[in-house]
Amino acid sequence: MVKPRLDREIIAMRVARELQDGDVVNLGIGIPTLCSQFVPEGR
Model confidence at 5: pLDDT above 80: yes
Domain count, the chain: 1
Residue among 40, 42, 27, 32 nearest 12 (CA): 32
Cβ(15)–Cβ(9) below 8 Å:
no
The parent domain of residue 18 ranges over: 1-43
Whole-number average pLDDT of the chain: 86
Q: Which band of pLDDT confidence, cut at 50, 70 and 90, is reported for residue 14?
A: very high
pTM here is: 0.70
Note the pLDDT of residue 17: 92
